[in-house]
Chains A and B, each alone.
Chain A
Amino acid sequence: MQFNKKHILDIESLDPEEISMILDTAEGMKEISRRPVKKVPTLRGKTIVLFFQEPSTRTKLSFDTAAKRLSADSISISKASSSIVKGETLIDTVRNLEAMNPDIIVLRHSSSGAPHLISKRVKSSVINAGDGIHAHPSQALLDMMSVREKKGKIRDLKISIIGDIAHSRVARSDITGFSKMGANIFVCAPQTMIPMGIENLGCTVSPNIEACLDEADIVMMLRIQKERQGNTLFPTEREYALRFGLDKTRMALAKKDVTIMHPGPMNRGVEISSDVADCSNSMILEQVTNGVALRMALFYLLSGGSRHADSN
């Protein structure tokens, strides 16, 4: 099977077969990171631009590591180092990048739809590394990879996502992706953080955290953005933790073998207590490990690779 997508813009535009193919490829890639020499020459001579208009540490590091393990040349530019601060438009900046003939452009941007906009203007492949509050496909794919690895399947699992759904691109992509793969998704948050019509993406809005946690296979906690405190969304972190924080007592409502996930960075003591974050059910760090493999798979597939990656 050939991977036919030119860009990875969101989960919505991937069908279940393509998602499976990406996850399969990523599983194969994982082994490379365990080798003593963690590098294969697969993408030697390819140029990957990491254009992060918005601050990011782990996603950028993950893409960068993925590029290097496949021997691609990665170049990073940020908002501060680009001409955007000088008033250049996104399209002009990207056209300039394009003139240097990159093969793949990875874009993180604060505006929803920015990767879609540039994908129409460039010859390179575009990977969305997070756009506004819209999508974060590589994160959702690595989440699916992690769940599949842990549970052996995705279909029919009860997956509960708790936190600021309204402002989370991770939540949107996870809901879309997991529901495409047949899971039952529940979301829970104060109503101020539930966007209108979210159920149409394929989830059930649950009235309270207890119902949401009940018999859950996967619990995914989202970061509460501290800067939103005192805004109109919730009164205090303290009250948020009281009402929606995941601690051991609440965790006990879920299945015994529940898996706890978090896209990071965590606010310990707010949405997740330290003992939950560090317990054996938590696979938060494995998500990070899988992230590298998953992004290697994306680079590989967009460069024309087929399912079985192995170094050539």
Chain B
Amino acid sequence: MQIRIKGARVLDPGNIDDKKDIIIKDNIIQAIVDPGESEFKAEYQIIDAENMLVVPGLIDVHVHLREPGHEYKETIETGLRAAVKGGFTAVCSMPNTNPVNDNGQTTKFIINRAKELGLSKVYPAGAISRESMGESLAEIYEMKQAGIAAVTDDGKPVENANLMRRALEYCKDLDIPIFVHAEELSLVNGGSMNEGSVATRYGIKGIPNAAESIMVVRDIALAELTGARVHFCHISTKESVEAIREAKKRGVQVTCETAPHYFTLTDEDVKDYNTNFKMNPPLRSRGDKQAIIQGLTDGTIDMIASDHAPHSVIEKDVEFDMAAFGIVGLETSLSLSLKLVQDKILTLEELVNKMSKYPAKLIKLNNDIKPGNRADLTIIDPEMSFKIDPETFESKSRNTPFSGFKVKGGTFLTMVNGRIVYQYE
């Protein structure tokens, strides 16, 4: 059985941007042909994608799947159902599970479970340090053998600069990128939202911008020292964007991501102690949001990742300062990011780069839409208008600040290995 995606605009920046039909057979892109061509030859399952956009499968490099250990928040299955609904054909899972993914066994468990499910592909990130305690290196080589695509102690910083240096050196040999969760904990000091007027008014302890940028600057210095590949996670401040911009200019090998909430919301949106607006790093000021947008436009910010962080009501339906940090994002990321195109902040090509091509490059995947490649494709309906409704989420958790948000554009169909894993109904 072959599948034919008919009538769509196929957009793979640098490779193809044309109205084409894609023919898929046995998990593989078999041919890309002009519409109507060679239609008589075979029996096709036709996907009518008139007025749709076919792009290389979207990749979210920053996702918390919570399994093993926190299955009440999310399982690999519910997380990946959320992923395919959000248009993602691959995700990087963060290692802060229980047990921590700091060993080959846990890595294999995650990969095997994902394979069984046959939804999005999972490229796990392993821990930098044992149990992510920041004390000694984890067995990164073994994890690499098992299939990790990156290492990170995400959820917390590597406080010890020397350990970070050694991790970078160690990973350079293995050609594994290090994902940096940039946070200076002594400056966070119990804070739970952005430091500034809003926090002062609400009596919520603040987290200054410097808590992030100070570590960004440190790890730029360590990237320079070691020549290793450093990727900064969830960048939220003006100062971080400036530091990374300047580092790139100097030729340092750094990349970075931001999340949709940082270019969509500010700390002024935190209202009435609603814990669905609490995440780490926190929503920043208007000036920071502007700087993030600028960073996206000029290419300083390479990619968009959701930092999908499911939490149950047990962690969220509590006092603001006691609530867990984090929001879900897989099912809202694409629609919120398409707004950047609608607002003419990014071109469509740039957006596809930031949500698919550059993430692929970061974890060394080839997801080009080319004959012979695996058919990992996302079909976007750019006209679909809807209101974000957490009740419709596939994720086990509902902790989103975007409830009721009106958006335009979303996933029409997600294909992984030539199989339709999600289709809008």
Contacts and interface: CB of A to CB of B under 8 A. Distances in A.
A108 interface: no
Contacts of B318: 89-91, 117
Given A111-B320, A112-B202, A132-B203, A196 B197 contact: yes
A112 B203 contact: yes
Contacts of B319: 90, 109, 111-114, 117
A286 B321 CA distance: 35
B47 interface: no
Interface stretch (A54-62, A71-79, A197-205): A197-205
Contacts of B201: 12, 172, 197, 200-201
B317 interface: yes
B173 interface: no
Given A90-B318, A196-B195, A113 B200 contact: no
Contacts, number: 70
Nearest to B318: A89
- Of the listed residues B197, B206, B273, B321, the one surrounded by the most CB atoms of chain A closer than 10 A to its CB is B273
Per DSSP, chain A at the interface is mixed
A176 to B, nearest CB: 8
Contacts of B197: 196-197, 200
A233 to B, nearest CB: 11
Interface string B187-222: 000000001111111111110000000000000000
Contacts of B322: 111
A116 B203 contact: no
A213 B416 CA distance: 71
A161 interface: no
A169 interface: yes
Contact of B200 (A90, A131, A200): A200
Given A113-B202, A134-B203, A196 B320 contact: no
Contacts of A172: 200-201, 203
A97 to B, nearest CB: 16
Contact of B196 (A109, A114, A196): A196
Nearest to B206: A196
Interface string A110-148: 011110110000000000000111110000000000000
Contacts of B317: 89, 91
A116 B200 contact: no
A27 B196 CA distance: 37
A195 interface: yes
Interface string B137-161: 0000000000000000000000000
A195 B206 CA distance: 9
A12 B202 CA distance: 10
A262 to B, nearest CB: 20
Contacts of B314: 89
B116 interface: no
Contacts of B203: 112-113, 131-135, 169, 172
A134 B202 contact: yes
Interface string A169-209: 10010000000000000000000000111101100000000
A112 B320 contact: yes
B272 interface: yes
B273 A117 contact: yes
Nearest to A165: B200
Contacts of B199: 195-197
A142 B298 CA distance: 55
A197 B321 contact: no
29 contacts: A89-B317, A89-B318, A90-B319, A111-B321, A112-B202, A112-B273, A112-B319, A112-B320, A112-B321, A113-B202, A113-B321, A117-B318, A117-B319, A117-B320, A132-B204, A134-B202, A134-B204, A169-B203, A172-B200, A195-B199, A196-B195, A196-B200, A196-B206, A197-B196, A197-B198, A197-B199, A197-B201, A200-B197, A201-B201
Interface of A: 12, 89-91, 109, 111-114, 116-117, 131-135, 169, 172, 195-198, 200-201
Given A195-B199, A195-B206, 15 more contacts: A12-B201, A90-B318, A91-B318, A109-B319, A112-B203, A112-B321, A117-B320, A132-B203, A133-B203, A172-B201, A196-B195, A196-B196, A197-B198, A197-B199, A200-B200
Task: Give the 3 A-B CB pairs with smallest separation, nearest first.
Answer: A134-B203, A197-B197, A113-B273
